[in-house]
């Protein structure tokens, strides 16, 4: 398996789909996606598809990871809150751009696995927590950026409340089968939002999300 060739093919697909931020595309070169899936799926890792990672969860489609990252308009000095660590792939992409990523995963096994994986890969600017992501992480708020990698019925007030002024939050909201990828920008006069298209995510489970 020639990882560099597969990465470049994937990056070209992302360009063709409208990903224009070269920093995002460069992050895909730096983060080998096959290390975030089971070895039996190595050859599928550079296809533009979501893949299972256990416990009913998935590693998101590369295009969706790239799109959400691009929509965040990241800068190096920002603190990011990620809800849904999952495999840790999106976390690793975010870590390329930020001062620190605070990431929450509700599944202990997935969270522990991702913590070990990312630390073994040398990521020192990621702080992990196991718990209900719908409540955010008040200890480190406000956040410059918030990204939610599971579908919520509505945008949790706790998360919008922990977003800094001039901050951006990207979150899929809708029903369990399909959501709108919503982009919120917080100003002094409140939240301003627009949709970046329809998406399908696993449900966001929690106090301010879907019930188990």
Catalytic residues, by residue number, are 60
Which of 107, 105, 158, 111 shows the shortest CA–CA distance to 136? Answer: 158
- Tokens representing residue 124 in the block: 């020192």
| Cα(83)–Cα(177) distance, integer angstroms | 19
Contacts of 70 (CB under 8 A, 6+ apart): 19, 20, 21, 24
Which 3-state string (H, E, C) describes 128-188?
Answer: EEECCHHHCCHHHCCEEEEEECCEECCCCHHHHHCEEEEEEEEEEEECCCCEEEEEEEEEC
In sequence order, what are the beta bridge partners of 172? 181
Residue 103's H or E segment, with its range, is: strand 100-105
Integer angstrom CA distances of residue 33 from 29, 36, 50, 69, 90: 9, 6, 11, 15, 10
Measured N-to-C along each axis, helices 22-30 and 62-71 cross at an angle, to the nearest 10 degrees, of 130
SS3 of residue 210 by DSSP: strand
């Amino acid at each position: 398996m020639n990882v560099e060739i597969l990465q470049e093919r994937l990056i070209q697909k992302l360009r063709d789909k409208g990903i224009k931020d070269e920093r995002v595309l460069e992050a895909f070169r730096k983060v080998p996606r096959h290390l975030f899936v089971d070895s039996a799926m190595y050859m599928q890792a550079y296809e533009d598809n979501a893949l299972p990672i256990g416990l009913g969860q998935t590693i998101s489609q590369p295009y969706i990871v790239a799109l959400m990252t691009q929509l965040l308009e990241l800068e190096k000095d920002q603190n990011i809150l990620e809800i849904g660590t999952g495999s840790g792939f999106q976390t690793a992409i975010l870590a390329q751009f930020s001062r620190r990523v605070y990431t929450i995963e509700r599944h202990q096994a997935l969270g522990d696995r991702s913590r070990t994986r990312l630390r073994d890969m040398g990521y020192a600017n990621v702080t992990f927590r196991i718990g209900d992501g719908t409540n955010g992480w008040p200890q480190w708020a406000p956040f410059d950026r918030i990204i939610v990698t599971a579908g919520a019925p509505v945008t949790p007030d706790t998360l919008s409340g922990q977003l800094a002024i001039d901050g951006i939050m990207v979150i899929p909201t809708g029903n369990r089968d399909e959501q709108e990828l919503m982009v919120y920008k917080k100003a002094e006069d409140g939240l301003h939002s627009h949709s970046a298209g329809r998406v399908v995510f696993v449900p966001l489970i929690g106090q301010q999300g879907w019930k188990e």
